[in-house]
Amino acid sequence: MIGEEFDKRRHFGFMLDNAAREIKKAVGRGVIEMGEVPCNLKNAWLVGYIERQRDPVFQKDLEKTFHFPKSTLADMIQCLEKSGYLAKAPVDTDARKKQIVVTEKGKNFSTLAEKEIMAVEDYITRGIPEDQIDLLVEIFEKIQQNAKDYKSYVELKKED
């Protein structure tokens, strides 16, 4: 019976989702305590990424980097603009093109959020040797790649 087999397994997707949710909540609590409440905590990663880029950043660049659908990314950017974390600025070479820049408020938020992210990561990995953390990262990367490849696998299986 499939139900019994299902119950006996460790479900990595479920475990990873639960761990990610707890980590997000922990970071979120810290950011809220600092008095900064963004539209969504995922936006802290986006703001920090944009801030660290040396070249101008455009929405198309972010779509490729973060693998967000165009509409999701547009909503995130719009929310961050309304909140005062990001702004759009014309490019010298083409006034129609708008680069995304981080405002001073965005820089402050990014610094606070990144400090909290690092504090939570330090806390949740305490007592775990560096070689085990390296192994965990390697395993996560393999799981992520396998999950990406699964669509191709299913399509090939259908052809058989």
> Number of folded domains in the chain?
2
Using the 8-state DSSP alphabet, how is residue 32 labeled? H
Looking at per-residue pLDDT, the higher value among 111 and 37 belongs to 111
In the structure, what pLDDT confidence band is assigned to residue 63 with cuts at 50, 70 and 90? confident
Same domain, 80 and 99: yes
Indicate whether 17 and 36 sit together in one domain.
yes
Residues 86 and 150 in one domain: no
- Do 79 and 11 share a domain, yes or no? yes
Looking up tokens 């775990």 gives 128
Asked whether residue 83 falls in the same domain as residue 17, the answer is: yes
Q: Same domain for 32 and 51?
A: yes
Mean pLDDT calculated for residue range 26-43: 70
Task: Judge whether residue 160 has pLDDT over 60.
Answer: no
Identify the CATH number of the domain in which residue 106 sits.
1.10.10.10
Between residues 20 and 134, the one the model is more confident about: 134
Task: Report pLDDT for 105.
Answer: 92
Q: How confident is the model at residue 84 (pLDDT cuts 50, 70, 90)?
A: very high
Is residue 3's pLDDT more than 90?
Answer: no
The percent of residues above 70 in pLDDT, for the chain, comes to 89
Tokens of 123: 């806390």
- Same-domain status, 75 and 89: yes
Residues whose CB falls within 8 Å of the CB of residue 68, separated by 6 or more in sequence, listed in order: 62, 76
Q: Are residues 57 and 115 in the same domain?
A: yes
Q: CA 36 to CA 26: how far, in whole Å?
A: 14
Residue tagged 């790649």 (tokens): 145
Are 41 and 11 in the same domain? yes
Q: How much is the mean pLDDT over the chain? A: 86
Give the 3-state secondary structure of 59-118. Answer: HHHHHHHHCCCHHHHHHHHHHHHHCCCEEEEEECCEEEEEEEEECHHHHHHHHHHHHHHH
Question: Which domain range does residue 142 map to?
Answer: 129-160
Contacts of 100 (CB under 8 A, 6+ apart): 50, 57, 58, 59, 62, 77, 86, 87, 88
pLDDT confidence bin for 61, thresholds 50/70/90? confident
Across the range 77-87, mean pLDDT stands at 92
Helix (H, G, I), strand (E, B), or coil: what is residue 57? strand
Same domain, 86 and 31: yes
Please say whether the beta carbons of 73 and 62 come within 8 A: yes
Same domain for 102 and 133, yes or no, is: no
Q: Is the pLDDT of residue 101 over 70?
A: yes
User: Considering the entire predicted model, what is its pTM?
Assistant: 0.71
105-143 tens-digit pLDDT: 999 888 888 888 899 999 999 999 999 999 999 999 999
Q: Are 115 and 140 found together in one domain?
A: no
